Amino acid sequence: MSSKAILSIGIDGDHPLMKTMPTAPSAEFIRQGIADARIATHEAGFTGFRFVELKPETCADELAELLREKHWDALIIGGGFKLVPGFITQLKDVVNTTKNLSPKTQILFTSLPSTIIDSARRVK
C-alpha cells in the first residue's frame, strides 16, 4: 500500500484539438481508460491518487490551485499535453508551474490512460 499523493492530469477527450493527436483514441476510450486507471491504482494500494481533467485555456491556473491545496509526491501528465501539437504551450506551462510551485514533485508522463498505473508504480 502506498500513501503517496499522486495527481494525474489530462485534457477533456472531447476537446476538438484532441482529434489531431496521432492515432487519436476516441473520447469514450479515454474516459474508460481513466475510469480503469482509478480502479487499478486503488486496487494496487495507491490511496492518494486523484485524476483531474483540466481545460487547456486555464490549465496552468487550475494546476496552480491544486498544487497550493496540498503537497503532491508526483504529477502524471496525460498524453494529450505532449502528443497534441496544439498543446505544446500548455505542456510547458504545466511543467513550469509544477517546478515553480512544487519543486519536489516528481513529474511523469503517460501516452494513454492505460499507462497511468505504470507511472504510479514509478513514483519514488
Q: pLDDT 10s per residue in the chain (124 long)?
A: 678 999 999 998 889 998 888 787 888 999 999 999 999 999 998 989 999 999 999 999 999 999 999 999 999 999 999 999 999 999 999 999 999 999 999 999 999 999 999 999 999 8
**CATH code given to domain 2-121:** 3.40.50
Give the C-alpha separation, 17 to 24, whole Å.
10
- The answer to pTM > 0.85 is yes
Helices vs. strands in the chain: H and E counts, helices first: 5, 4
The domains of the chain are located at: 2-121
Q: 106, 74 in Cβ contact below 8 A? A: yes
Q: Which residue is it, cell 483540466?
A: 54
